[in-house]
Structure 1
């Protein structure tokens, strides 16, 4: 009878000795999995907000260093490049007789960090034109042009300097 009582006492203790470490191990693994997935979420930092203004002449380009993405192991960072392809000035020249006022627009090409290219046109005077556009997560906004004055009828086309504000925040 004593052996039966001893067995009755030892069985629950043995179960606890086996079940308790297994339960602790399972809980530890679940905690580790939860921590790893939480770390993966926290590892993706929010992009730093930036706004920069660049002055471009026709045919000129600029690297948007603030929007650079890190390269793969051992590779250098890659940054988008924006190029002012051409200035389209169809405005009526001073001293000329015109049937319409015309407009000025600016054609750009954006080369992304992956080498892909996209084109966009900015204008604050062209019908259906927009002074701001968003491409590849970057907002491009006309910030000014020099010279602003319409050239005279017999004057050579000016070498325009276009100020372009680039931001990774939506335009406001």
Structure 2
């Protein structure tokens, strides 16, 4: 089973991910791109799997608490290995939406990893760059632990009641 999965996975690769059906971006619409990476243990050792998600502001559901945070349509890019094929795939995906022509109507959301930050700044300098919520809270928590360590009730990372 492993060999079969590996063989078909290798054949599909990034080429399969480039076959997409994208609705055109409207003139005032915003395009969002989220990117992150995570280390996984493979038979060949530790490798980073990278995932990107792109969606338009019109893909965000509205109307009521029930639909809050729901995205109705999005496109994904995934890659196991080095950053270069992943970045090329994300460039192709974002170019299909208008890429660099979007300027400040492109919002790039990520964890602040150096390779992602460098790619975003090099390729899309006019886009809006956002540190994702989880990592912003993580950095804020670390800062608060250092800045307020003498404050009563604050004991840094050991405080279980502060759930960021």
TM-score, scaled to structure 2: 0.27
Give the number of the structure whose alpha-carbon radius of gyration is greater.
1
Larger strand fraction of residues: 1
Larger helix fraction of residues: 2
TM-score, scaled to structure 1: 0.26
